[in-house]
Each structure stands twice: as C-alpha cells, then as structure tokens.
Amino acid sequence: MKSDFSPYVPRPATLVAKNTLSEYVTLFEFAQDSGKTLAHRPGQFIQVSVYGVGEAPFSVSSPPQSDHHHFELAVRRTGSVTNALHNLQTGSKVGIRGPYGSYFPMQKFVGQDLLFVAGGLGYIPIRSVLYYMLRHREEYGDIILLVGTRHPGERIFTDQLEEISRRSDVHVLETVDMPDENWQGNVGVITTLFPKIRINPENTNVAMIGPPVMYRFVIDECAKLGIPQERIYVSLERRMKCGLGKCGHCQINGINCCTDGPVFCYTKIANLPEAF
Amino acid sequence: MVAYIVYLQQIPELLRKWSSSHDVYVPTRVEDHFYEFRPWQEKMHIAWDYDLAYSPLKVFFMPPREDLIHFDLHNYTASPVIKKTRQLLFGVHPYDIKAINQLDQLMGMDGIDVNYQNLRDNTVIFGLEPARLAETAFWAGVDAARVDFGFDLFWTRISPGAFLVRVGSAQGEEMLKMGSSMTSATAAEKEAARRIHLRTAARADKQSFGFTWTQVPEFMNKFYSRKLYWREKAKTCLSCGSCNLVCPTCYCFDIQDETDDHLKTGKRYRQWDGCMLEGFARIAGGLNFRPNAWERYRHRYMRKGKYIYDRIGELGCVGCGRCVKACTAKIANPREVFREIREAIKNEV
C-alpha cells in the first residue's frame, strides 16, 4: 500500500479567474479538477506547483467552502513560482498539495470578540478567517479589523474592505505608513490605530499576521489593552519546501513552521528567539 | 542473543550468494587514509580495520539527489518515483547504525517519508565492531559505542581468521545460513567478543568529552543567547556546508524541478541542502531569518545538541568525527563546542 503512494504528488487544479489587486499582487481563483472541496481550515497553506518551475507555499485566502471546489490565493509577484503563476492564463493548470499546517481555532472563538491585525499582505490569510466569521456572524461577538499598508498603492481587496466597513457589525480601521496626496485616512504604523479602538480584554482574541517587524509592537499593544497571551494568535511565514516536517527550511528554533505552524498561539512561540 | 562463528574463508562464498539478491556494499580503502563503502566485487580487499567511512551512510537511504515525481507538462499529470533497491551494507560501525536509527525515527515522524522508508525497508545492515578509531571520533561520549538494535547481524572479529556474528533479525540469520555449516558460538567465544568490545569502548572513552552527554541539551539552551561565543566560533566559517554534507544525521533537503529540452516532461527531485548555506532560511521577497554565518553555525549546534534531543531523546550527533575532518576552517567540532560550553557554564557558577 504505502509503496506507491507519495505525498509529493500534486493534484491538478485549474485557474478559473485572475484579478489584479495591486501592482504586484493578483488574486487567483482555482478549482480542483477532482471536483472536491479543498477542505482547508482558515490559516492553513497549500503547496502550489507550476511544473518545470517549482513549488511554493501559499496561505489560502478564501474561507472554507463546503459547497464547492473553488478556492482563492492572493499572490505577490516576487520569485520564480509567483512570476510563473502571474503569467498563467485562465484555464491553465497547476498542481496542488495540502492543505497543510495548523489553523485558527474557530471553535474556541465562538461567542467571543475578535481583533484582527493585518499588516500588508498579512490580510491575505486573515481574509480566510474573517470571511468564515462573517458567514457565521451570529456565532461570534464584536469584530474589529485593523489593516495597515505601507503606501495607498499597496492596498489590496479595497472594494471588499469598503463593503465590510459599511457593515454595522464589523469595525474596520485602516492606516498607511506613507500617504500620497489623495489619502484621506489614518497615517502611521498599525499600532497607531490601537488608541482608537475599545475592546473587552476579558473576551477578546487577537489574530495577527504581518511582516516580522510588526509582531513585537502589536503584541506590546495587546498587552497594554490587557489581552492575555493565550488569546493571541499569529501566523508566521517561512519557506516550506516539503510541507511535511522533513526538509528543515522552515525551522524556527526547534519547531517546524509547516507542521507545528504556521498558526501559533503566542504562548507557544513567546520563548523562541527566531520567531519574529 | 543467538550467535554464530564465521571463518574468514567462508565470507567470499556468502558475499557471492548475497550479491545475487542484493547490491552489496563493503568498506574499502580508496586512498591513504580514506575509506568508503563501495560495491563489492570478487577479490576486492575489504577493509575490516577501517576507522571511518568518508561518506555518511545516509547516501544509501537519502541519495544526494533523488527524483520524487515525474510530471507531464502537456496533460499536467504526475506520478511518484519511489526506489526499492535491495541493498546490503556489510561492516557498519555502531555510531553509523545509531545515526540510521535516528533517521528512521525522524523520517517516520509526522507522516512517513516514503522515499526514505522504501529504501530503508529494503536494506540489510550487518554491523561490525570497530577495530580502529578515527582521531576525530568521540562516539563513546554520545552513547554510540554500541547499539542494541538497527542491525540484522553484528560481526566481531575475535581472531585473525574468525568472526563472532550476533543475530539481530530473522532475515539476518537466514542470510547467514545461506553459507555452509555455520557453527553456533560457544560461551567462551561470546565472552571473547564481549572483551573485544570492552577494549574498543575503553579506547574510545579516552577520546570522549569527559562528562555525560545528557547534560548537553541544558548547556546548549543556556548558551543560545551568548552571541559573543557563537560569533567568535564562526568567525572563520566559510558557509560551505561541508559539515552538513558529511554528517550522518543531517537530512535537510531542497526540492527543484527540471524539464526536458522540449518542455514536455520533467522531474521534481530533492537534493541535500545544508542549514549552513547562506540562503537556507530565506523567504520570498529576500528576507533571511539567519543571514549571518554565526547564526547558522549556532543553529546547527542547537539542532545537534538540543532540538533533536527534544524530539527523540538523543543528541543529534553520533560522534563519528566526519565534520571535524571535513571542515576547511577547522571550526566544526561538536566535542570541542560541547566541552567549551560546559566549561564556560561551570566556571560561571
């Protein structure tokens, strides 16, 4: 049995739609050729293959879909695989493996408030969690979404963010580090949004994803608000090559980001110097 | 344990029989002081007294480069590539068996690595009591002077012309009995083998580090933040990755694609990688989580002295001394690092 099964063999999927989100970021919608749902959980990643170019890990950006087999990835054009993805036409095929890794504990969040902190491309995986919660809105308490970007030109999912911010049951705050002449909103790093929010520390969970430099500062802000460490969740980026806890590339001190992560409760990594 | 006596002159006949069903590898001298496991051939000189094989034996279970899948770019299909070569490694020292035992555990964790497992399942290991000890070896210090499992047979040369062969598996015994008239070992012969082992172990003890290895993980943990020490140690590191390549317990790899000239078919393969190499922890966009040589050097020793221990309860170092030999800058030396850290911590208290 085990002889001819290999976890390295990808499954085929087809590119159904491509939408430009910013100069470098594109949203890709794929459908699994098997017709089966991806069955991922918010925060998990998959390995995407463009045969002949290579394979790279991406967090799934869409929420779990139990009713159909499409899923979305938002990808920044930065290396060989991401460039190859950007050059694909709709109808092209890719290979996928996974989903892999840990995920946000959606069951644990039931009945509680959630504070999302998304820095830059960190919004991509956050989106999976957020839309899952919006779909089951009545099961969760207050939702606050903080989004920080370097330039207004790097903002992604702007239409959807505007749509969400019009809802009365989600509080959305956005900021940019370096505004241009048209920017009307907040200016400053993401922590400058913290004085503008009111949360109940007894009942609030935090889900944060952003560039490594962001975490320490946001965690400090959370501490000031009185949110205990065991209710802070982060997702970390590493270069997972195998996704199976073997190849060693994604090691954070003694743990593997691909199998122990990418989503961690802060208490699990607070003592790991290599985490951020 | 069941044991037999095999005479030197019986061995060629056995090797001939074994090689009909297995690719047989034996230690042999390739240059002055260099030994390697090479395919056995008739009349080949087997280096029974070799001190260390230059290449680690992981080459037999995780080849330096190995195909994982073959794909077709036209219809976008892929199929697994899994090798099941039947191999016999004859003459493996205990520290190398221990390294393989560790790989068995690590490659079997969080889902089995099928490529490793299939080669491993098809490999027979005949251990050999070392007759000599490499200058750089310190295996007695890390509990690798003897192994109790991980071999099918274990050979000890009890006289110039005779071996005592302990049985480690039914398959090993079966293969031994392919030879004509094997005699069971007497109690005296078993005692002779035991004494030879004790003598070897005593010699090896002199090249150990003088304290029990179980203290190492704690020292390493305490010393992680001593940047000055790590910077100083790695000052001359060339980031060449030689220590990774020759290490019998290093198993990190990279995955790459390759296509034919017509872009119709291709293969995805894995090849050995090394945490000492500059780009090992780099992610998309160029951010590198271990940009400096000293951080990578520290990571490697943390892995050997702490992280692997946290997973399997043993140091990720079997004391073979290969890295000590291979390091051009002469800074790879786990015995020295563990010892220095222990001294430093002892003097602080």
Count of domains observed in chain B: 2
Tokens at A224, concatenated: 């000031």
Inspect the interface and report whether the beta carbons of B253 and A241 lie closer than 8 Å. Answer: yes
Inspect the interface and report whether the beta carbons of A6 and B252 lie closer than 8 Å. Answer: no
Report the residue of chain A nearest B83, measured CA to CA: A3
Size of interface A-B (CB pairs under 8 A): 131
Stretches in chain A below the pLDDT threshold 70:
1-3
Q: Which residues of B touch A212 (CB under 8 A)?
A: 287
Within 213-232 of B, beta carbons closer than 8 Å to A belong to: 224-225
Q: How far does A48 lie from chain B, in Å, by closest CA?
A: 13
Beta strands in A21-90 (DSSP E): 25-32, 45-50, 54-59, 70-76
Strand, coil or helix: B233: helix
Give B138-177 pLDDT, tens digit per residue.
Answer: 999 999 999 999 999 999 999 999 999 999 999 999 999 9
B179: Cβ contacts below 8 Å, ≥ 6 apart:
B6, B10, B13, B14, B17
Q: B237 and B154 in one domain? A: no
CA angle, corner A104, sides to A98 and A107, nearest 5?
115
Choosing among A8, A11, A30, A75, which should be mutated to test the B contact, i.e. which has the most B CBs within 10 A? Answer: A8
From the list B82, B263, B303, the residue facing A3 with the nearest CB is B82
> In whole angstroms, what is the distance from residue A47 CA to residue A35 CA?
18
Residue A1 to residues A114, A209, B70, Cα–Cα distance (Å): 45, 40, 20
Q: Is A245 left (phi over 0), alpha (psi -120 to 50) or beta?
A: left
| Domain range enclosing B25 | 3-206
Instruction: Say yes or no: B285 contacts chain A, CB-CB below 8 A.
Output: yes
pLDDT for res B277: 95
Q: B237 and B159 in one domain? A: no
> In whole angstroms, what is the distance from residue B316 CA to residue B310 CA?
10
Instruction: Say yes or no: B202 contacts chain A, CB-CB below 8 A.
Output: no
Q: Enter the ipTM.
A: 0.90
Inspect the interface and report whether the beta carbons of B82 and A6 lie closer than 8 Å. Answer: yes
Inspect the interface and report whether the beta carbons of B283 and A239 lie closer than 8 Å. Answer: yes
Report the residue of chain B nearest A271, measured CA to CA: B221
Q: How far does B23 lie from chain A, in Å, by closest CA?
A: 20
Q: B122 and B29 in one domain? A: yes
Inspect the interface and report whether the beta carbons of B69 and A6 lie closer than 8 Å. Answer: yes
Residue A163 to residues A155, A168, A179, B36, Cα–Cα distance (Å): 15, 11, 22, 68
Is the confidence at residue B6, as pLDDT, over 70? yes
Q: Which residues of A touch B268 (CB under 8 A)?
A: 8, 49, 51, 55
A15: Cβ contacts below 8 Å, ≥ 6 apart:
A28, A29, A30, A88, A89, A90, A91, A92, A93, A94
Q: B100 and B7 in one domain? A: yes
B349 band by pLDDT with thresholds 50, 70 and 90? low
pLDDT for res A1: 42
Q: Which residues of B touch A93 (CB under 8 A)?
A: 76
User: A244-272 as b/e, with b when 16 or more CB fall inside 10 Å?
Assistant: bbbbbbbbbbbbbbbbbbbbbbbebbeee
B106: Cβ contacts below 8 Å, ≥ 6 apart:
A246, B251, B308, B311, B312
- Single residue among B160, B186, B206 that ends a domain in this structure: B206
Report the residue of chain B nearest A254, measured CA to CA: B307
B210 band by pLDDT with thresholds 50, 70 and 90? confident
Give A160-216 pLDDT, tens digit per residue.
Answer: 999 999 999 999 999 999 999 999 999 999 999 999 999 999 999 999 999 999 999
Q: B133 and B232 in one domain? A: no
Q: pTM, whole model, 2 decimals? A: 0.93
For chain A, which domains are there?
A: 2-100 (2.40.30.10), 106-235 (3.40.50.80)
Residue B44 to residues B9, B20, B153, B158, B169, Cα–Cα distance (Å): 14, 17, 21, 22, 27
Q: B108 and B48 in one domain? A: yes
Q: B168 and B102 in one domain? A: yes
Total H helices, total E strands in chain B: 12, 12
Q: How far does B64 lie from chain A, in Å, by closest CA?
A: 13
Q: B280 and B147 in one domain? A: no
Strand, coil or helix: B18: helix
Give B261-296 pLDDT, tens digit per residue.
Answer: 999 999 999 999 999 999 999 998 889 999 999 999
Q: B344 and B250 in one domain? A: yes
Among the listed residues A204, A160, A195, A205, the one whose alpha carbon sits nearest the alpha carbon of residue A175: A195
DSSP string of A87-145, one letter each residue: TPPTT-EEEEEEEES----HHHHTTSEEEEEEEGGGHHHHHHHHHHHHHTGGGS--EEE
Inspect the interface and report whether the beta carbons of B73 and A52 lie closer than 8 Å. Answer: yes
pLDDT for res B289: 93
Q: Which residue has the tokens 């009909």?
A: B20
Q: Which residues of A touch B283 (CB under 8 A)?
A: 237-239
B298: Cβ contacts below 8 Å, ≥ 6 apart:
B224, B230, B234
Q: B133 and B242 in one domain? A: no
Q: B285 and B167 in one domain? A: no
Q: How far does B222 lie from chain A, in Å, by closest CA?
A: 13
> In whole angstroms, what is the distance from residue A123 CA to residue A121 CA?
5
Report the residue of chain A nearest B78, measured CA to CA: A9
Amino acid identity, residue A60? V
Among the listed residues A26, A62, A23, the one whose alpha carbon sits nearest the alpha carbon of residue A46: A62
Q: How far does B333 lie from chain A, in Å, by closest CA?
A: 21
Inspect the interface and report whether the beta carbons of A238 and B306 lie closer than 8 Å. Answer: no
Strands B123-128 and B87-92: parallel
Q: B170 and B63 in one domain? A: yes
Q: How far does A164 lie from chain B, in Å, by closest CA?
A: 30
Name the DSSP class of B278: T
Contact present, A79 and A24 (Cβ < 8 Å) = no
Among the listed residues A248, A253, A276, A213, the one whose alpha carbon sits nearest the alpha carbon of residue B224: A253
From the list A3, A8, A95, the residue facing B68 with the nearest CB is A8
Strand, coil or helix: A155: coil
pLDDT above 90 coverage of chain B, percent:
91
Among the listed residues B233, B219, B162, the one whose alpha carbon sits nearest the alpha carbon of residue B193: B162
From the list B73, B284, B290, the residue facing A78 with the nearest CB is B284
From the list B109, B266, B282, the residue facing A239 with the nearest CB is B282
B212 band by pLDDT with thresholds 50, 70 and 90? confident
- How many Å from the N-terminal Cα to the C-terminal Cα in chain A? 41
Query: CB B174: neighbour CB atoms within 10 A?
Result: 11
Report the residue of chain B nearest A83, measured CA to CA: B284
Please provide residue B218's backbone torsions phi and psi, each rounded to the nearest 5 degrees: -70, -45
- Single residue among B160, B178, B206 that ends a domain in this structure: B206
> In whole angstroms, what is the distance from residue B114 CA to residue B120 CA?
10
- Please give the mean pLDDT across all residues of chain B: 94
- Single residue among B206, B228, B262 that ends a domain in this structure: B206
Strand, coil or helix: B328: coil
Choosing among A34, A85, A251, which should be mutated to test the B contact, i.e. which has the most B CBs within 10 A? Answer: A251
